[in-house]
Chain A
Amino acid sequence: MSLDHPVHFARRRRARPRIAPIAFLTPFMLPFLLIFVAPIGYAVVQSLQKVERADGLFGAPTTVWAGFAQYARAVNDSDFVASILRVLLFGIVQVPVMIGVALVLALLIDSQSARLKSFHRLAVFAPYGIPGVVAALMWGFLYDPRLSPITAGLATIGIDPNFLGPGQILWSIANVVTWTYAGYNMIVLYAALQALPGDVIEAAAIDGAGPVRLALQIKVPLIAPAIVLTAVFSIIGTLQLFTEPQVLKTITTNITSTYTPTIAAYSAASANDYSYAAALSVLIAGVSFIVSFGFLRLTARWSVTS
């Protein structure tokens, strides 16, 4: 912190800066603690409880402490474990593909030969502004054989893509997610490319590096921290996967009520199984936090050493 302590200067009314920070902070901190922090604490408490009914199903419910029973239940819940493995598989394929697409597009738009740069930039970024629900609805219509000109076109050349089939649906979801967020990542990487010092690029060009070598051997290594950052945020997004599968669930039976961890937690809450829902959301939030915190620590150390 380079700023000086204002109290050194405010000689005339010393008490003022003591009250001012409280007055400026409280309007944020009060709702922040009550609506943001407290529910997390309450979820942790609730995840350690269970509801017991005195006389079978119809007795009066009482809440009792259950220790880590709900967490044990989650670990032994084969549907929940399957949902974690599913988003893992999804992330291993979708994140590299999306970041790859974003990187290639950023490099192409940054290249000298590209025309209509701002048009391309805007067109690729536009899906980011479209609500996830609407994006999933649109692609759902394009996947749906009753409506889709794409499936109709493919059918005339003898291909039945069956986008909503049991084997394809995960990748159809991956396509919606890639379509929505590739442009966002492209803009971040493009901004990093624009910030590269011009003399480095020019020196490489004068030394005879062609545009491809320039891109792969000079530009990509220089923006590596930005690439890592976009990848980390995409991995965190993958752990939260909810909207796209939940919307596509309305047009296919191949998405179950435990398809992703977040859908599983939502289903538990909808079934009034609050303690289990709390345990699942604590697990999801905890894992996301640890992953992002770990990666940020790692990249911070990396950018200091490089």
Chain B
Amino acid sequence: MTPTAPSALGPRPVNARRHGRLGVGGVTVNVVLLVATGYFLLPIYWLVIASTKSRSDLVSSFGFWFSSPQLLANLNELFTEQNHVFGQWMLNSLLYSGVGSVVATILAACAGYALAVYSFRGREAIFSLILGSVLVPATALALPTFLAFAKIGLTDTYLSVLLPSIISPFGVYLCRIYTQAAVPTELLEAGRIDGASEWRIFRTVVLRLISPALVTVFLFQFVGIWNNFLLPLIMLQNDRLFPVTLGLFSWQSQISREPQLLLLTVVGSFVAVVPLVITFLLLQRYWRAGLATGSVKG
């Protein structure tokens, strides 16, 4: 059997040239790609190598290769330093990101559904308000939120970071357009005729149909909260409440006075990235779905 010839109806011309027969242009394309990928991976590679080093090797040995690796000893020191504060920071980050993104996703699903299937007075006004707030960036919002929370004495608490994290206007927007596209009105009607309550229809039928959008909202919110810096920086004084990003920053700012924190900041940066990398690799396709909202087929 000979391979089928490229069909005129195919989505793209099939690559007829196989490995080993790249022209000058093809070689250039791949060399440029490899150089670019090297640039993007280099700092991560350095961090992995540096996390395995002893204090003296960190400053004296060649940065891009191992020198008597001692990752376990470093991890042990990282997690015991200052009365186990690093573990507390990781747990705090998990709490802020986990609880914040779960609640944000549920609220966004409900609101998006309401805006998609019911018509009521003021619906478009509410939707415009929500859409407008997608355009107000989180950074610009952190200070006003701080000023308001300072007024009512809510700063320096778990809630001061958690409460602003449960609101995702982008999530509401995404859930609304996804519900409009994925939930047929007839299905809702069938449920109503069968006597199901609105809540039951939402819980058993709608949530399942819009689950891809929910995963996307959850992921973006989770990573957004995990990576947030200004909000916890401005809200929190007590280092026991810090998320890991703020904790690492506080160590970094003390290095000039306490040089032993340098190695711990390096190892801590490495550990802080691990949960994200895992989430990231496992749920890759949802990322792409979210980034390309509506613009990509299948």
**Contacts from A to B (Cβ < 8 Å):** 1-7, 9-10, 12, 16-18, 20-21, 23-25, 27-29, 31-32, 35-40, 42-43, 46, 101, 104-105, 108-109, 111-116, 119-120, 122-127, 129-135, 137-142, 146-150, 152, 179, 182-184, 187-188, 191-192, 194-195, 198, 201-202, 205, 211-212, 226, 236-237, 239-240, 242-243, 246-247, 250-251, 262, 265-266, 269-270, 274, 277-278, 280-282, 284-285, 288-289, 292-293, 296
Report yes or no: B147 in contact with A293, Cβ–Cβ below 8 A: no
Is the Cβ of B188 less than 8 Å from the Cβ of A112? Answer: no
CB B105 to nearest CB in A, in angstroms, measures: 11
Asked if residues A146 and B139 are in contact (CB atoms below 8 Å), the reply is no
Nearest chain B residue, comparing its CB with the CB of A285: B140
Whether the pair A137, B248 counts as a contact (CB closer than 8 A) is: yes
Chain B 121-149 residues near chain A, CB threshold 8 A:
123, 126, 129-130, 132-133, 135-137, 139-141, 143-149
CB-CB under 8 A for A35 and B29, given A9-B189, A126-B40, A149-B46: no
Do residues B202 and A24 form an inter-chain contact, with CB atoms below 8 A?
A: yes
Are A194 and B291 in contact, CB atoms less than 8 angstroms apart?
Answer: no
In the assembled complex, the Cα of A129 lies from the Cα of B272 at a distance in Å of: 11
- Residue of A whose beta carbon sits closest to that of B46: A142
Chain A residue at minimum C-beta to C-beta distance from B146: A269
Inter-chain CA distance A194–B202, complex, in Å, is 34
- What's the nearest-Cβ distance from chain A to residue B61, in Å? 9
Let me know if B40 and A289 touch, CB within 8 A: no
Q: Which residues of B contact A (CB under 8 A)?
A: 8, 10-13, 15, 17, 19, 22-23, 25-26, 29-30, 32-33, 36-37, 39-41, 43-44, 46-47, 50, 58-59, 62-64, 106-108, 110-111, 113-120, 123, 126, 129-130, 132-133, 135-137, 139-141, 143-151, 163-164, 166-167, 169, 172, 180, 185, 188-189, 192, 198-199, 202, 223, 226-227, 229-230, 233-234, 245-246, 248-249, 252-253, 255, 265-266, 269, 272-273, 276-277, 279-281, 284, 287-288, 291-292, 295-297
A211–B252 touching, CB < 8 Å: no
Q: Is the CB of B141 within 8 A of A285?
A: yes
Which chain A residues border B33 with CB–CB below 8 Å?
A: 105, 108-109, 114, 116, 120
Residue among B50, B106, B277, B291 making CB contact with A187, cutoff 8 Å: B291
> Once bound together, how far apart are the Cα atoms of A174 and B191, in whole Å?
54
Give every chain A residue within 8 A of B288 (Cβ-Cβ): 187, 191
Check A133 against B167 for contact (C-beta < 8 Å): no
A2–B11 Cα distance when bound, in Å, is 31
Least CB separation from A114: chain B residue = B29
Are B110 and A28 in contact (CB-based, < 8 A)? yes
B20 CB to closest chain A CB (Å) equals 11
Report how far A116 CA is from B84 CA in the complex, Å.
Answer: 42
B residues within 8 A CB of A135? Answer: 43
A232 to B129, CA, bound (A): 20
Q: List 25 A-B contacts (CB under 8 A).
A: A1-B180, A3-B180, A6-B118, A25-B114, A27-B106, A27-B107, A35-B145, A42-B148, A43-B144, A43-B147, A101-B36, A112-B13, A126-B44, A129-B277, A129-B279, A131-B227, A134-B248, A149-B46, A179-B43, A266-B230, A269-B146, A277-B143, A278-B144, A289-B136, A293-B135
Say whether A129 contacts B223, CB under 8 Å: yes
Chain A nearest CB from B274 CB (Å) reads 11
On chain A, the residues within 8 Å of B167 by CB distance are 28, 31-32, 35-36
